[in-house]
Amino acid sequence: MNNAGFGTSGHMHRIDPDRLSREIRLNVEALTRIMHAAVAAMIPRGIGYVLNVSSVASFQASPGLAVYSATKAYVTSLTEGVSEELRHSGVRVTALCPGLTKTEFQSISNTSGLATEFPDFVWTSVPMVARTGLRAVAAGKTLAVPGLLYKVLVGFSTIIPRGASRKITRIITRRG
């Protein structure tokens, strides 16, 4: 499981650019290097599993989480591309795209207030997210979105215009 990463919240121009660079290096560059090394070792064996942790934020631009969403869009896109490249290799590659899940991520990304801003039904549990990801990679699925609510939201985000999606996300998250 390729799960290293962190996020930043707030308006991008107000966030320390060095922190943004670290976020991009970890969420994009480190993930790519780790995935490259893992896949290179798995291909000669003809079997292997890569589970990259992305986010439902990867499916739409998120005001207040712009850089985080962009890095997760990279993770999802990279995973989809490599999954197709390796389709007949025996190596399975999956992007796990959870929604809100209570972990240490909230304190690191300065989004601890989300725990009280959103109702309990929008939060997924760590065990459910992990099960969803492990089942998906074992089944050879390229994308795994835990929870019915988030499956619907991801589906919805692919059919509405991107401008409308950005505005809806801004309203829901009350950012800017």
**12-173 is classed in which CATH architecture?**
3-Layer(aba) Sandwich (3.40)
Catalytic site includes residue 49: no
**What is the reported pLDDT for 156?**
85
Domain boundaries, the chain: 12-173
| pLDDT tens column, 34-85 | 999 999 999 999 999 999 999 999 998 888 889 999 999 999 999 999 999 9
Q: Is 39 exposed, middle or buried (0-12, 13-18, 19+ CB in 10 A)?
A: middle
Which residues contact residue 91 at a Cβ distance below 8 angstroms, ignoring those fewer than 6 apart?
A: 39, 42, 43, 46, 47, 48, 49, 50
Taking only the tens place, the pLDDT of each residue in 113-137 is: 555 666 666 778 889 999 999 999 9
The residues with which 85 forms a beta bridge, in sequence order, are none
* Between residues 52 and 155, the one the model is more confident about: 52
Q: Which of 49, 68, 74, 150 is catalytic?
A: 68
Share of the chain above pLDDT 90, in %: 59
Other C-beta atoms lying within 10 Å of the C-beta of residue 1: 14
How far from 148 is each of 6, 24, 37, 64, 155, CA to CA, in Å?
25, 29, 34, 25, 11
Q: Which two tokens stand for residue 147?
A: 């929870």
User: In this predicted structure, what is the pLDDT of residue 10?
Assistant: 87
Task: Give the Cβ contact number of residue 42 at 10 Å.
Answer: 19
pTM of the prediction?
A: 0.85
Contact 91, 49 (CB under 8 A): yes
